Amino acid sequence: MKKHMFLLLAALLQAPLATPAFAADQGLNFVPVVVETFTSKYCPNCPAGETTLAKYADGRNDFIVVLEHVDYWDNPANKQIDPLGNPDFTQRQYDYSNRLGRRPGEVFTPAPILDGNNMATPPLWMGWDGVLEKSMQNNFKVALTLAKKPDGGLEVTAPKEQKLDGLSLTLLAIEKNPEKPSLWQARAMGIKNISGAVTSLTRAEVPAGGSHLMVLLQESGGGAVKGMGMVAR
């Protein structure tokens, strides 16, 4: 029995990282660990951190890294404005920090948050393996089914057995990082309250930009991620 379970897990981990792989209607009961990494163009430690993550993520499909650029490193006086910086990502990091950080309101970059429940503290090359392993051992997320609507909206379906109390949907418009293709970067985000096992979003409620849309089923206010789906634009 143990051998059978090992072979099944190995087969799932070797499945290609493709858009249909995250759809519940494909019968797949495994979704990768989501590594939201808060970063900035003007953060001095971020290039090295991103390079470290890119090396780890290369050829892997058991976790997916999404870079979310904050805006608190921007310095308008020196004309240093991160074109990907977004106050929504900054607020999202503070929401995580208030729950997971050693001190409320303390933020740093680069800051990977795994499945909304584990924080990799710096330096990444010393503390990354342990938090990744912990997140993988506790990865019980469900697969969400995402269906694009003709009007540009989206229909999100959660498994019937998934409890939805206290949960909401986080929508991230993402695309491959042009310099580090093993990483994704977020362009915009939105939050939608759940209206049942099936939640219908209008075109206006779906964040624009990017080549793909990632949807996280998550405890409201920056909590643990309970489910995930992804679809190409």
Give the separation between CA 79 and CA 99, rounded to whole angstroms: 33
Give the separation between CA 54 and CA 86, rounded to whole angstroms: 22
pLDDT tens digits for 145-203?
Answer: 999 999 999 999 999 999 999 999 999 999 999 999 999 999 999 999 998 899 999 99
Give the separation between CA 221 and CA 166, rounded to whole angstroms: 9
Mean pLDDT to the nearest integer, 137-144: 94
Mean pLDDT to the nearest integer, 79-101: 95
Residue in 127, 121, 126 with CA at minimum distance from that of residue 109: 121
Give the separation between CA 169 and CA 215, rounded to whole angstroms: 6
Q: Pick the more confident residue, 34 or 122.
A: 34
pLDDT tens digits for 23-56?
Answer: 433 334 469 999 999 999 999 999 999 999 999 9
The whole-chain average pLDDT of the chain stands at 87
Mean pLDDT to the nearest integer, 190-218: 95
Tokens of 163: 């409890």
Mean pLDDT to the nearest integer, 80-104: 93
pTM as predicted: 0.86
Residue 68 pLDDT > 80: yes
**Residue 7, pLDDT score:** 35
CA distances (Å), origin 59, targets 86, 118, 213: 29, 23, 21
